[in-house]
Amino acid sequence: MTEQRDPTASSNNSSDQNASDTSSNDTNSLDTGSIDPHVRARAIMEGTERDLSYPPSPEALVVAVYDNHTHLEIADGENPMHYREHLDRASAVGVRGVVQVGTDVLTSRWSAAVAAREPRVLAAIAIHPNEAPALAESGELDAALAIIDELAAQPRVVAIGETGLDYYRTESSAGRDAQLAAFEAQIAIAKKHGLALQIHDRDAHDDIVATLLRVGAPEKVVFHCFSGGVELASVCAERGWYASFAGTVTFKNARNLRDALDVLPRSLLLVETDAPFLTPHPYRGRPNGPYLLPFTVRAIADHLGTDVSMLSAQLSSNTELVYGSWDAEPVVAPGDPWAAQEVPGDPHNLGGVLPEHYPGERGVST
């Protein structure tokens, strides 16, 4: 956590190229020029030979859908796309909006700041379960959660997530205790602000469900990148919890996910990319973006034997029920943590401050 670029820290970037963006925090302009498009980069996956080019766009959907979970702040591929380019390419193929998801203080601030300016973006913010152990160890977890609580009050922040438990990455009991503490605290934040909860669940289905039942789930619960089978799907169906399917559902070896689709009511289905990860078949392993979501929608429609446009309409309606509407005019909120800060201006300068362990660098298999 020590090498991250912290937008709240005093910046030594005294260049005045952003001066007009940083001189005041009471502007209503929708200026996006002050936001660095990438504050993370995807780690190179050792030992794999990835094709680093973006796949071609799919045929456009007739009825538009939303990407329930993406990370546009992460640079990936040979020529990382700016978030506006991602959104433009998505719009062109019938992906009309995204939920941009933060995983720590830096990326949560970024997500809230972009949502405040960009009509096609709503934000989810959280401390990811893979970030919680180190923060707890350094005594910073409570302060980080307090910032999430503060950001949760911003108008276009619509979910707390991704939060949950990740037993794949964390085995020590101290680490798992930290994850659980962060998860419970963030469930409480979601309930306090009346926001949806986006859950990260990796190899932890039972404890996630037990925690939700013990402390009481928020009204809207979404299992992001749903990775369970029929059993977890049945629990979701019973409780009215949403299952958001990523590109993994298109993978040949993901029979359990397609079985889960069969037992979930259509009213609980959502779709997402989790970009830049989990690129759908036939482009698995290449950089992902919201514009590739139609591959996943079509694969689900194909499996369910339903019409793509019917399914798209259902998915959009489900999404708006969970997060509300993207239509409201974006605003630069008073107290926007980004508005008064100097933000580096070079779109692709990552400044050699890449984190060693981004939680998403988990390869492409579930």
In terms of C-beta density within 10 A (0-12 exposed, 13-18 middle, 19 or more buried), how is residue 52 classed?
middle
DSSP letters of 255-313? HHHHHHHHHS-GGGEEE---TTS-PPTTSTTS---GGGHHHHHHHHHHHHT--HHHHHH
Q: Decide whether 18 or 107 has the Cβ nearer to Zn ion.
A: 107
Q: How far is the CB of 285 from Zn ion (least distance, A)?
A: 17
**Residue 300 Cβ vs Zn ion, minimum distance, rounded to whole Å:** 19
Output the CA–CA distances (angstroms, integers) from residue 19 to 14, 36, 52, 139, in the order listed.
9, 14, 35, 35
Stretch that binds Zn ion, among 145-153, 246-254, 272-280, 319-327 (CB under 5 A): 272-280
The residue number whose beta carbon is nearest to Zn ion equals: 274
Instruction: Name the DSSP class of 112.
Output: H
Q: Which of residues 216-235 bind Zn ion (CB under 5 A)?
A: none
Nearer to Zn ion, 182 or 333 (CB): 182
Q: Considering beta carbons, is residue 100 or 154 the nearer one to Zn ion?
A: 100
- Cis check for the bond before 162: say yes or no (omega within 30 of 0): yes
- Residue closer to Zn ion, measured from CB, 287 or 344: 287
Residue 160 beta carbon to Zn ion: minimum distance, rounded to whole angstroms: 13
**CB nearer to Zn ion: pick between 271 and 332:** 271
Asked if residue 272 binds Zn ion (CB under 5 A), the reply is no
Contacts of 47 (CB under 8 A, 6+ apart): none
Residue 21 or residue 274: which is nearer to Zn ion going by CB? Answer: 274
Of 124, 142, 106, 145, nearest to 2 by C-alpha is 106
Cβ-contact 66, 316 below 8 angstroms: yes
Residue pair 23/348 in contact (Cβ under 8 Å)? The answer is: no
Query: Residue 66 CB, nearest distance to Zn ion (Å)?
Result: 15
Amino acid at 64: A
Q: Which of residues 139-178 bind Zn ion (CB under 5 A)?
A: none
In the complex, minimum distance from the CB of residue 22 to Zn ion, in angstroms, rounded to a whole number: 29
User: What is the phi/psi pair of residue 161, to 5°?
Assistant: 165, 155
Q: Applying CB under 5 A, which part among 52-60, 114-122, 239-247, 266-274 lies near Zn ion?
A: 266-274
Task: Report the residue number, 217 or 246, with the smaller CB distance to Zn ion.
Answer: 246
CB of 293 to Zn ion, least distance (A): 14
Q: How far is the CB of 363 from Zn ion (least distance, A)?
A: 13
Task: Name which of 72 and 254 has its Cβ closer to Zn ion.
Answer: 72
73 binds Zn ion (CB under 5 A): no
Question: Residue 70 or residue 250: which is nearer to Zn ion going by CB?
Answer: 70
Contact range with Zn ion by CB under 5 A, out of 53-61, 92-100, 273-281, 303-311: 273-281
Choices 30-38, 45-53, 205-213, 270-278; region in contact with Zn ion by CB under 5 A: 270-278
Which H or E element spans position 163? strand 157-166
CB 6, min distance to Zn ion, A: 21
Rg of the chain, C-alpha, whole Å: 19
Q: What is the residue-wise DSSP string for 195-241?
A: -EEEEEEES-HHHHHHHHHHH---S-EEETT----HHHHHHHHHHT-
Nearest distance from C-beta of residue 71 to Zn ion, angstroms: 6
The 76-115 contact track toward Zn ion, x by CB under 5 A, reads ----------------------------------------
Contact 347, 261 (CB under 8 A): no
Q: How many residues bind Zn ion (CB under 5 A)?
A: 1
In the complex, least distance from residue 200 CB atom to Zn ion, rounded to whole angstroms = 7
CB 321, CB 327: distance < 8 Å? no
When asked if residue 274 is in the footprint of Zn ion (CB under 5 A), the reply is yes
- 293: nearest Cα among 61, 20, 81, 3: 61
CA 171/CA 103 separation, integer angstroms? 20
Footprint of Zn ion on this chain (CB under 5 A)? 274
